[in-house]
Structure 1
Amino acid sequence: MKNNRLFHSLLMLVLCLLVSAGASAQNDKADRPSPPATATGKIGQATVTINYSSPAVKGRTLWGDKIPYGKVWRAGANEATTFEVDQDVTVEGKTLPAGKYSLYTIPGEDQWTVIFNKTADQWGTQYKEDQDALRVMAKPRKAAAMQERLVYDVKAPGFILRWENLELPVAVNAKK
């Protein structure tokens, strides 16, 4: 009877370990269809870091279809894309204090609204306009080459969002 109880206890321990290992493997963000990515760079003396999930085009029509014009988009997938800067900067000529923000956009055919929201750590679809720290306008352009996965690039004079056949340059300057 004692051996039987010991056997059941060991069996339960092994089962618990297997279940917890499986649950933890499901939380591995690198295995997602839109894996996490980071773009970091210096603009003047300011360090800018953009953390995002990188979806793929997968043959879809994005702009105006999968990502509709005139509606808030999380500028990535999964959790909200974040934009972090270690000192005050100007974005398209408007002041943005040092800090961490969620980054959203409102795509348009000829012009986009780029939104820096004060609630940085949130799921991408939980956007609340009353938490906006700054909104600026930027002009998209045709990309030189097709970009299958969403990618950000940080370097003077700002950052660029690239995806499918589109680039969105956003001017960022370190404050003096």
Structure 2
Amino acid sequence: MTMKSILRLLAMVATTSAVFAACNSKNQETTQDKQATTLAAVEVPENTAALQDTIKGSIPSVATGKIGEANLKLTYHAPGVKGRTIWGGLVAYDQVWVTGAHMATTLETDKAIVIGGKEIPAGKYALFTIPGREEWTLIINKNYKQHLADNYDQKDDLVRIQVKPTTLEQHQERLKYEINSKSSTEGVINISWDKLGITAPVKTAS
């Protein structure tokens, strides 16, 4: 091979290397751009409270609390509003409502308590309501093993009290029960959903 041929070959190699290096650099930039775009697309929003409740169905839930010496427990399924009309829509007025979903909402207490002037012995009970436009009826019933209110019978009621619904300051997406102590012998059961709430006073039995 002549010197001229050798120089020509070296020139071709140098040109090919330069072209390869340029293409590799461009490919790296393209990959980096794609990665940056992907990361931006999956960025978690700072305000997680703004995320919508996307859970389907009603969530098994429990509320516990102590009023005086009595330990109370409420077990229920919490449905969501999901943009639906709740009062007078999904929940009919003037009909016994399980005040939850699926099985009857249950109230358990390990000590005797008083609701509506009626003493309720330690035990497990069903809690129902009858929502009204102006007033609700809260019911404690002996038969807690029920699907919805299918087998509800008024003769098994231990307590019926009238309570006034109030407008909530904030929207409550999921049905929520709370047991709150107010003093050494008194407290309340709060039920809230959508834009309404009701409160039932509870005392310890003397």
**Mapped pair 1:151 → 2:176:** yes
Residue-pair matches, total:
146
Alignment partner, residue 46 of structure 1: 70
Deviation at 1:94, TM superposition (A): 2.6
Q: Which residue of the other structure, out of 158, 177, 183, is the alignment partner of 1:133? A: 158
Is 1:99 matched with 2:99?
no
Distance 1:96 1:64 in 2: 31
- The structure that has the greater radius of gyration is 2
Is the 8 Å Cα contact of residues 163 and 199 (structure 2) preserved in structure 1?
yes
**2: distance between equivalents of 1:65 and 1:163?**
14
TM-score by length of 1: 0.79
Q: Which runs of 5+ in 2 are unaligned?
A: 1-54, 182-186
Corresponding residue for residue 60 of structure 1: 84
The CA RMSD over aligned residues, in Å, is: 1.4
CA distance in 2 between counterparts of 1:86 and 1:100 reads: 9
2:93/2:132 contact within 8 Å kept: yes
Higher helix residue share: 2
Q: Structure 1 residue 92: deviation in Å?
A: 3.0
Tell me the distance in 2 between the aligned counterparts of 1:69 and 1:169: 18
| CA distance in 1: counterparts of 2:56 and 2:119, whole angstroms | 35
Instruction: Percent identity, please.
Output: 40
Provide the secondary structure at the position in 2 that maps to 1:130.
helix
1:147 maps to amino acid: Q
Structure 1: how far apart are the matches of 2:168 and 2:119? 28
Instruction: Give the equivalent residue in structure 1 for 2:192.
Output: 162
| Equivalent AA in structure 2 for residue 159 of structure 1 | I
Hey, what does 2:60 align to over in structure 1? 36
Opposite residue 189 of structure 2, the aligned amino acid is F
Following superposition, the deviation at residue 93 of structure 1 comes to: 2.9
Larger relative strand fraction: 1
CA distance in 2, matches of 1:144, 1:98: 34
1:91 and 1:60 map into 2 onto residues whose CA distance is 32
The answer to whether structure 1 residue 80 and structure 2 residue 80 are counterparts is no
**Shift in Å, 1:96:** 1.8
Q: Secondary structure at the match of 2:90?
A: coil
Question: What secondary structure does 1:83 align onto?
Answer: strand
Residue aligned with 2:155, SS: helix
